[in-house]
Amino acid sequence: MPDATRQALWDAALKVGRAAGLDNAGTVEFLYDNDSGQFFFIEVNPRIQVEHTVTEQVTGYDLIKSQILIAEGRPLSDPEIGLGYQVAIKSHGFAVQCRVTTEDPSNKFIPDYGRLTHYRSASGLGIRLDAGSAFSGAVITPFYDSLLVKVTAHGLRFIDAIRRMERCLQEFRVRGVKTNIPFLINLVNHDDFRKGGVTTRFLDETPALFQLPVRQDRATKVLSYIADVIVNCHHESPVRAAFNSPQLRSMSREPAPLPPLPQASTNTAGLMAGSRDTFKELGPEKFGTWVREQKPLLLTDTTCRDAHQSLLATRMRTYDILQIAPVYARQHAQLFSMEMWGGATFDTSMRFLKEDPWQRLFEMRSRIPNILFQMLLRANSAVGYTNYPDNVVKLFIKEAFAGGNGVDVFRIFDALNWLPNLKLAIETPRRRRHRRAGDLLYRRYPRRSP
């Protein structure tokens, strides 16, 4: 744009602001006819707009801070603002902004929604990111703006800003929802755009912008392949065809040398007495006293819980766990408990392994009758998130303990974030007294944050 035209735009914007009595930040928009050199007024937005990062990058002024200080009554000449003289405002280099949204450019930019299974943004010299709720695990709803992050690239030359923008967009990794990143990459790489010769007809007249490459997601595919081979063997291996057959052990690769281990069996005769035997002998109240009186360290084994939740290849099937269960019962009866249950392990059993978690619990108990089973759960928290509704937690605890064939010890995870979380599992008369004591402690030492 010619300098004279740019100056005329500024003059018109100031004229509009003075006529309206605008005394804070505002944005005046015009359309510019590249053929005739004329410009036309569109509208005024008496506020900061989403493109303000471009102005901040090329001028160095903090517009957000400035508008707040002006609203406080400070003059433009205040050193904290530094806008006392229009001639002092200089533009340095070029800046371009791209708005990364969860929109599908191949389907008329219809917004997409869902959970971000993976989110990785880019950075580097001359790149500014203004992000909102974009992170791995974030849920994108259809009820709000689809903007994930604003990317602003700055450079001494227009082509420098464009190259930085293209490199930055290429480094983004967003999985779980569709985004407009492939379209933006096509746009900033187009010759006409780089020459600055585009008009409002550019999208309609350039169908090549919508020839979008299919994202390969190679990393996920490689990890999935590795996990499949490790767990199920290679697809050409004869072991894979007989994966669930009794002959699997003899057909697999040579196992690592191990000491003699008891065979998986439901025969529990002759087992050494363990913590659960003490629990059954004393009952819950006296057992709690016994635990507090112990001087040696009481150990809990978490192998079975951790193995449930590995994301790559060690999600343990019931078959695998039952093979090692007799080892615990016969050689590790001195353990205080085995942590092997909880919401996440329950979900993993059902959703990924397609197994009945209650049947697994019953079969493990039949092979390990002498060690306490421990369950991990996270009660609802007042610090900004919830995992399960209260009634689900209560019923889950009840069912996990029912009949004496299930879980014995319940550990509340993150309970000290907010002491009332403990109330979910404490409702007996004696424990109710303990709960009131906990409430007194809570009132005496309240949480510092709301």
The span from the CA of 268 to the CA of 115, in Å, is 46
The span from the CA of 431 to the CA of 441, in Å, is 15
Sorted by sequence, the CB contacts under 8 Å of residue 276 that are 6+ apart come out as 369, 370, 371, 372, 373, 408
What CA–CA distances, in Å, run from 116 to 11, 73, 108, 120, 170? 45, 43, 21, 10, 18
* 99 catalytic per annotation: no
Give the alpha-carbon dihedral of 377, 381, 384, 387, to 10 degrees. 30
Q: 435-442 long-range contacts, Cβ below 8 Å, gap at least 24?
A: none
Q: Provide the edge-to-edge strand list for the sheet that holds 300-301.
A: 300-301, 337-342, 372-378, 409-413
The span from the CA of 436 to the CA of 445, in Å, is 14
DSSP reduced 3-state for 175:
strand
In this structure, the number of other CB atoms found within 10 A of the CB of residue 368 comes to: 29
CB half-sphere exposure, 284, CA atoms < 13 A: 9
Q: Which residues of 247-281 are buried (b: 16+ CB within 10 A; e: fewer)?
A: eeeeeeeeeeeeeeeeeeeeeeeebeebbbbbbee
The catalytically annotated residue of 6, 47, 436, 447 is 47
The span from the CA of 144 to the CA of 133, in Å, is 11
Listed residue (239, 258, 257, 241) closest to 249, CA to CA: 239
Question: Looking at this protein, which amino acid is placed at residue 412?
Answer: I
Cβ–Cβ under 8 Å, residues 154 and 57 = yes
Cβ–Cβ under 8 Å, residues 148 and 174 = yes
Listed residue (78, 73, 46, 40) closest to 62, CA to CA: 78
Q: Token pair of 195, please?
A: 């020459």
Which residues are known catalytic residues? 47
